[in-house]
Amino acid sequence: MKMTDLYLYAILAVFVFGIVVSLWKLQKAENDFNLLDVLMDNGRVSRIASAFAVTLVITSWVIVKLAVDGKMTEGYLMTYGGMWVAPVITKMFATSVPVQKEN
């Protein structure tokens, strides 16, 4: 294992620890801001939002690892950008029509 790998794993551990501590502190604080709202949809945990957040962290980690190892190519960067830009653009232009229930 290379020394850069150890540094990257240490940075990842600090980052994850920071997120966990921040979420815990925000949950305990009395304010209107709640970071968990990022993962919520209509007051419930959203599977899509949770999967999106986890996937963002994992793919970002892969991109950083590729860059540190010197294996980053334009293809990887374009794929990474496309994965995160396409859903945002789709969400911006998607129209949702409410379904009315008949009694």
pLDDT at 44: 83
pLDDT at 42: 82
Q: pTM for the complete prediction?
A: 0.58
Our measurement of the distance from residue 17's CA atom to the centroid of its chain's CA atoms, rounded to an integer in Å, reads 15
CB atoms within 10 A of CB 5: 12
The better pLDDT of the pair 78, 40 is held by: 78
- The number of C-alpha atoms within 13 Å of 2 and in the hemisphere containing its C-beta is 6
The contacts of residue 26 (CB under 8 Å, 6+ apart) are 33, 34, 35, 36
Nearest to 19 by CA among 49, 53, 48, 51: 53
